């Protein structure tokens, strides 16, 4: 299967989404499709600056912010996480240039996306969200065999605490809240990203979709870094 285009999505009113993207939420329904939107002029969206969260990496004062919507059963999301994300993290996040947040967008026809997202959040409750996410993507072909406890054990997580967390209805509700926020603004593809800057406490960015290459992300990030230096 070929990689989907890295493209701009239709203009969206995302301010309410971006104000809540990095907070816990309540129940709603996930988006219904992973088809990529038709190309259109780059939208500008605005909202509150991101808050500190276990699924957010990078300096709070980083000049560029990237918010990802991902489905842990989506092969394109796994490709981004495997091929593109490590270099973005090394060259931009770890160097203080980019603040990166990930949020869940489980799709209806991916029956294991929601339990995988819940499990990842529960690993995050023990400080290992990103490690568990990587393990989930590597085990994506085995999600139907319920590998969640085994993956937690491999990372040395507290098994009882992990199991209790997975059974907590609020974890499922918070996953659905991420998806509802995306769906309410027309973001239906995974992976999708909002790439922009925080200026005077307000985040303004562009929505793009697809498992783009490092070079495609770098071009957008570098352009924003130049703007920040002006």
Query: What's the Cα-to-Cα distance from 197 to each of 61, 95, 166, 181, 209, rounded to whole Å?
Result: 10, 16, 34, 20, 18
Q: How confident is the model at residue 200, as a pLDDT?
A: 83
Residues 170-200: tens digit of each pLDDT:
999 999 899 887 877 678 889 999 899 988 8
pLDDT given at position 188: 87
In angstroms, the Cα distances linking 76 to 21, 186, 189, 190, 209 are 21, 19, 10, 7, 11
Domain boundaries, the chain: 7-30+46-229
Residue 53 confidence (pLDDT)? 59
Residues of the chain above pLDDT 70, percent: 76
Question: CB atoms < 10 A from the CB of 170, how many?
Answer: 13
* Segments of the chain with pLDDT less than 50: 1-52
CATH code reported for the domain at 7-30+46-229:
3.40.30.10
């Amino acid at each position: 299967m070929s990689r989907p285009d890295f493209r701009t999505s239709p203009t969206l009113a995302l301010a309410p989404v971006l104000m809540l993207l990095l907070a816990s939420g309540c129940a709603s329904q996930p988006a219904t499709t992973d088809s990529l939107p038709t190309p259109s002029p780059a939208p500008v969206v605005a909202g509150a600056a991101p808050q500190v969260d276990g699924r957010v990496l990078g300096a709070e004062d980083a000049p560029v912010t990237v918010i990802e919507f991902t489905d842990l059963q989506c092969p394109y999301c796994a490709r981004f996480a495997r091929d593109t994300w490590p270099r973005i993290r090394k060259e931009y996040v770890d160097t203080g240039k980019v603040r990166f947040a990930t949020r869940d967008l489980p799709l209806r026809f991916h029956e294991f996306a929601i339990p995988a997202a819940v499990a990842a959040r529960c690993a995050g409750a023990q400080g290992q969200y990103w490690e568990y996410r990587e393990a989930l993507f590597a085990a994506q072909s085995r999600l139907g065999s319920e590998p969640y406890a085994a993956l937690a054990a491999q990372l040395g997580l507290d098994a009882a605490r992990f199991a209790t967390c997975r059974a907590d209805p609020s974890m499922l509700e918070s996953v659905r809240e991420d998806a509802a926020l995306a769906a309410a603004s027309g973001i239906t593809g995974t992976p999708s990203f909002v790439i922009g800057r925080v200026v005077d406490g307000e985040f303004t960015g562009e929505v793009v979709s697809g498992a783009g290459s490092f070079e495609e992300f770098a071009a957008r990030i570098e352009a924003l870094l130049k703007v920040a230096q002006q």
